[in-house]
């Protein structure tokens, strides 16, 4: 069986060192999904994401809301992982959330 990572596996915040300057998907306790570039973290796994978008899924479609710089308290992170460009096709069809909301409430 092939190993996912060739280096040692850390369960503490030091395991985030290899993720700095990479695009991550972060799932929060309240169900929100954020995608952004990890710029910094601390010993409590608090995260700073740059160029962050909040992704909202409806069925097989999704919409993005730009959020910019986003600071996340470590205790709210349920899951995080690096976004691999080749797998982006699995995310479904993108739809424009703002256009949809404007047309529904206009």
**pLDDT of 59:** 85
pTM of the model: 0.71
The residue that leads in pLDDT, 14 or 64, is 64
Instruction: Say if residues 59 and 42 touch (Cβ distance below 8 Å).
Output: no
Q: Looking at residue 54, which CATH number applies to its domain?
A: 2.30.30.100
Integer Cα distance of 16 and 10 in angstroms: 9
Instruction: Say if residues 29 and 61 touch (Cβ distance below 8 Å).
Output: no
CA separation, residue 89 to residues 39, 60, 84 (Å): 25, 12, 10
User: Can you give the residue range of the structural domain that contains 17?
Assistant: 13-105
**pLDDT of 49:** 97
**pLDDT of 3:** 45
What number is the average pLDDT over the span 13-17?
80
**Does 3 reside within a domain?**
no
**Does 4 reside within a domain?**
no
**Does 7 reside within a domain?**
no
**Domains in the chain, number:** 1
Interval 37-73: pLDDT, tens: 999 999 999 999 999 999 998 888 889 999 999 999 9
Burial class (CB in 10 A: 0-12, 13-18, 19+), 25: middle
Interacting residues of 81 by C-beta distance below 8 A, sequence separation 6+: 24, 25
Pairing of strands 61-72, 93-94: parallel
**pLDDT of 1:** 45
DSSP state of 12: S
SS3 103: helix
What number is the average pLDDT over the span 3-32?
79
């Amino acid at each position: 069986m092939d190993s996912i990572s060739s280096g040692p596996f850390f369960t503490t915040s030091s395991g985030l060192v290899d993720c700095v300057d990479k695009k991550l998907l972060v799932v929060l306790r309240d169900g929100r999904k954020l995608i952004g570039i990890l710029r910094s973290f601390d010993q409590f796994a608090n995260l700073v994401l740059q160029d962050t978008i909040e992704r909202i899924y409806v069925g097989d479609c999704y919409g993005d809301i730009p959020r910019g710089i986003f600071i996340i308290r470590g205790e709210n992170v349920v899951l995080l992982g690096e976004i691999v460009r080749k797998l982006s096709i699995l995310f479904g069809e993108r739809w424009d959330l703002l256009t949809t909301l404007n047309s529904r409430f206009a």
